Homo-oligomer: A and B are copies of this chain.
Amino acid sequence: MTTFIRHRGDYTWEDVRLLAYKEEQGTHFKQVTRQVLSAGSPDLFAELRYFEVAAGGHSTLERHEHVHLVVIGRGAGHCLVGDEVFAVKALDAVIIPSLTWHQFRATGTEPLGFFCVVARERDRPRLPTEEDLKVLRADPAIEAFIRV
């Protein structure tokens, strides 16, 4: 079990792999990296990850049963949670409730980095269907925001 995970600068950590955001390929996300800070301690009740969205990039628009506890670590951007779009910046916290559509975008000229805690046992994310997208796009603010 790893107990100390040293930040080595520039939002990377010693002995933590810099990974692609998702194992599968896709066009539903753009310019996102993932680091599992708790990877050396896989038996915990939760995982601690750090994601970074490059300027202009976005995470997947998705939802799932499990919740996210997020603390913005770096930069600024916007996120959709349910039917609201929030401007987020370093040190803001975001809680993504169960089965709630969400997406993070680095909307400015800087990357958006965030820590995200999830339960170890969790369901797989689900992408929106055409019908889901129709409902989401009925709100002009959401239509303007989402990237799929």
**Residues on A facing B (Cβ under 8 Å):** 1-7, 11, 13, 37-38, 41, 44-46, 48, 67, 69, 71, 73, 81-82, 84, 86, 88-97, 100, 115, 117, 119
Q: Which residues of B contact A13 (CB under 8 A)?
A: 93
Asked if A3 meets B91 with Cβ closer than 8 Å, knowing A44-B69, A69-B48, A119-B45, the reply is no
A11 nearest in chain B by CB position = B91
Q: A45 and B71: CB pair below 8 A? A: no
Q: B3 and A97: CB pair below 8 A? A: yes
Q: Which residues of B contact A90 (CB under 8 A)?
A: 7
Asked if A3 meets B69 with Cβ closer than 8 Å, knowing A46-B46, A46-B117, A117-B46, the reply is no
